[in-house]
Amino acid sequence: MSRTTHARKKRIDMAARERQREKRKRREEKFILCLLVVGPPPKMGLTLSEFEQWKCSVRDYWLRLHIATDPPMNSNTPYQFYNSFMKWYDREKREAQKMPDIATKVKLTQAV
């Protein structure tokens, strides 16, 4: 293979990888936006303030996930993200229920 052919092929490969990276980024952004707009599954039955907290949790989890790793996006990634987020969110919710916050403690002490 000649030097010019090799250089041209390398440029084409780099351009294809860049397009693929951009496409993956757009899909990720679209997915996270849909997740934020649609919100949690109806079975969770959250109040408006809880829903706002949920949205912040989604953003935080997404950022943490992508700071740690940059997995290649495939057709299953949105589902994997959603499932892992829901597992994490449920775990966080259970932990929060185990340890009542200060406002709840104040209400309990005032009631007594």
Residue appearing with tokens 């090799």: 6
Q: Report d(CA 89, CA 80) in Å as an integer.
A: 14
Cα distances (Å, whole numbers) of residue 38 to 20, 34, 102: 27, 6, 31
Asked if the structure places residue 46 within a domain, the reply is yes
Q: 87-97 in b/e burial notation, b at 16+ Cβ within 10 A?
A: eebeeeeeeee
Asked if the structure places residue 7 within a domain, the reply is no
At 92, is the secondary structure helix, strand, or coil?
Answer: helix
Asked if the structure places residue 14 within a domain, the reply is no
Between 25 and 103, where is the model more confident?
25
Q: Where residue 10 falls among pLDDT bands split at 50, 70, 90?
A: confident
Q: Which domain holds residue 66?
A: 26-111
How many separate domains does the chain show? 1
| Torsion of Cα atoms, 17 then 22 then 26 then 28, to 10° | 50
Between 96 and 76, where is the model more confident?
96
Q: Where residue 112 falls among pLDDT bands split at 50, 70, 90?
A: very low
